Amino acid sequence: MLDTINNLYLVNTSLFKGLYIEKHLNDPLFQRHPVISLDLSSIPSTEGLSGVKENLLGLLQLRAEDNKIQFFSKSTVFAFGELIERLGKRDGKVVILIDEYDRLLIDTFDEPELQNSFRDLFRDFFYQIKAQELFIHIVYITGISNHTKMNLSSAASNIKDFSNQEDFSTMFGYTHKEIKENFYRLYP
């Protein structure tokens, strides 16, 4: 899903030839935007808080290099904000794609102190989205838990949850009707 969204905003038209979306790629909604894509499942929780910060900073540095941006912050949180601002000022409003935002929190469910440290880090991290909203076109965040139940909601107060809205049910998954038509007949 996030790869598709990434390519839509990078306007990789060759990937959409013959598809419904091809005729809509000239729509102002799909103008080319710089993309910051972060897959948080790539960061191991086993290295503790300092390892997570170091790996997250490394991931941000890779995205900066992808976009030929140099940032100066050594702080993971401020580096994220700096990347958004520099990219937004140079190339226009940024699309942010964060995959599996909650993985580290789920992995440390039985380690409350470490989980709280990760939660604090990500709360501060998500505050950068709020602080840099002037430079952001849109943010897509995926995870298996609701961000409001992870105590990140104040930092992510400008984020809307579409996961249970009927208008989006056919966009990113299966509708109840599709499950019934395609899977129920397999399991009588």
Chain-wide mean pLDDT for the chain? 83
pLDDT of res. 97: 93
> 136 in helix, strand or coil?
strand
Domains, in order of start, for the chain: 33-186 (3.40.50)
> 137 in helix, strand or coil?
strand
What's the pLDDT band for 147 if we cut at 50, 70, 90?
very low
pLDDT at 43 over 80: yes
Structure tokens at 176: 């109840």
pLDDT of res. 133: 93
pLDDT of res. 158: 57
Task: Dump the DSSP string for 34-79.
Answer: -EEEEEGGGS-GGGHHHHHHHHHHHHHHHHHHHTT------SHHHH
Q: What is the pTM of this model?
A: 0.81
